[in-house]
Structure 1
Amino acid sequence: MKILVVEDENKLAGFIQQGLHQAGYIVQHSDNGSEALRKAASETFDLILLDLMLPGMNGIEVLKNLRAFKILSPVIIVSALSGTSQVVEGLDLGAVDYIKKPFEWEELLARIRILQRKIFTAETTRIRVEDLVIDLMTRQVVRGNQQILLTAKEFALLEYLIRNTNRVVSKNQILENVWNMSFDPESNVVEVFMYQLRKKVDKDFDKPLIETVIGVGYKLSGTKSSL
């Protein structure tokens, strides 16, 4: 599940990002409404966590523009405002839920899981690339008839590759989307996790799905379908 966190309080944003990453979600962050709108228009997010009191374009304006541009990503309002006209207006504009700051971390995760279940009852939970099947809800991975056990971070990495099937993704893109890190030429975290993932997903099978594109990045290749 890919989540955009729109929050201008850096300490809180960092806390939310770290927690969501640890829970196995792919996370991006924007600290203002204009940037959030640009990201939502250029990428597909399964969920947007939206503060209302943002510098420049506020949360209500972001919601209005999302709907005007036909961007249908579900939105959960996360705001210190409570019972105000802005919250009511946000819900009327199509936000699916509201959680008040300060909040309990487990409550936020529970609200996200509830939304996941609603999404996945309306849409397929499983994606197939060749003989590899990934279930986004149960986080089960199967190739052929063999179940593959992945850590939370390995699953997030595989999910990111599958979302970009047949497209090359750079090390920098992986760091930003899976680890929420800026490019660090000294870091080999991507290489280490990619090695572990390929060992589990490709090693014992005739056809490797994950390839290294030298000097560019990585690509998961194959025919993709929903089940």
Structure 2
Amino acid sequence: MIAIVDYGAGNIFSVKNALDFLGLPGELTSDPEVIRKADGIILPGVGAFPSAMQMLHDRGLTEVIREESHKKPFLGICLGMQLIFEKGYEFEECDGLGLVPGSVEKIVAPGMVIPHMGWNKLEMQNDCPILRNLPEEAYVYFVHSYQAHTPEDYLAAYVEYGDAKIPAMVYDGKTVYGAQFHPEKSGETGLQILRNFGGLMG
């Protein structure tokens, strides 16, 4: 079972629907014990970094996510991906979950519209298990105004947006994955990514 973390800031139902479509068992939960017992974890998210971290804290979920994300496959999506870094700078400086080194800052792309919204082509950088078996031209769907800054070793794929190189998928080389885009809204490419994630379950 994949625990979909419900903390008040997520596109949780579209993620659950995508897992249902793929035949992957998923459960919406804010219960730390359910998260501990799950075979994998998805942390969705829409909204602002500081308020999302506060909601995780208020529900007693920050520590269980920090602990369990190193024991089983973990996927952060959109804002959920941003929360896995050490710091965020949306409205104010805020500590993140610290699962992957780096920070989240406003996109700087002169001449381009912010937020970065719509379809963009994945450029692969480092091998990543959940990005395998994708189309040669793999397009995914984005909606965001902030981007991650992380060492190149953690960068599985990126997209180009004007002069900006935006991390699209990060991977710690073990259990932690982060997708800046929405796989649940990215057609067959996104479904294949979720299918690959489901295939990591023991």
TM-score range, shorter chain: 0.3 to 0.5
Structure with higher Rg: it is: 1
TM (norm. structure 1) is: 0.37
TM (norm. structure 2) is: 0.41
Greater share of strand = 2
Greater share of helix = 1
Greater RCO, 1 or 2 (C-alpha within 8 Å, sep 6+) = 2
